[in-house]
A = this chain, B = another copy of it.
């Protein structure tokens, strides 16, 4: 049997299914703050990388530039992100607002609790192992 025949389960389909499942868990935990996991992740990245251009943000998050543009538009409309100054007139640099920073603080406990729940489900060492495997993909 070839390896592929052995693995009749598609790695990609399995990844996608697990991602949907896990995303739903985080989304439910963050729902009371009016934010999705994708948005929480976006804001966290913006907080860490300070004022940042859309292109650089896209590179960091490995998302298409246009995707970043649209996603940022949503959190900007919500008041969590604002345009930031930039020397390059082409650049649309953005930064976290006070409201955005406060939201991240408010939501942190729920995010962390979910992290712990996932880690517990993965068992001892499983969480680190998962992150390592995912990073290798």
Q: Is A15 an interface residue (CB 8 A)?
A: yes
Contact yes or no, B11 A135, CB < 8 A? no
Chain A: interface residue count, which band? 35 or more
How far, in Å, is A46 (CB) from chain B's closest CB?
13
CB of A103 closer than 8 Å to a CB of B: no
Among the 9-residue stretches A73-81, A82-90, A91-99, A118-126, the one with 4 or more Cβ atoms under 8 Å from chain B is A118-126
Known A3-B119, A15-B19, A112-B2; judge A10-B133 contact (CB<8 A): no
Q: Are A63 and B20 in contact (CB under 8 A)?
A: yes
Asked if A23 and B18 make an inter-chain contact with CB atoms under 8 angstroms apart, the answer reads no
Does A4 contact B122, Cβ atoms closer than 8 Å?
no
Residues 56-79 of chain A: 1 if any B CB is under 8 Å from the residue's CB, otherwise 0? 000001110000000000000000
Q: How far in angstroms is the closest Cβ of chain B from A27?
A: 9
Does A136 lie within 8 Å of B116, measured CB to CB? no
Q: Is A105 an interface residue (CB 8 A)?
A: no
> Using a CB–CB distance below 8 Å, which chain A residues touch chain B?
2-5, 7, 9-23, 25-26, 37-38, 41, 44, 61-63, 111-116, 118-119, 121-122, 126-131, 133-137
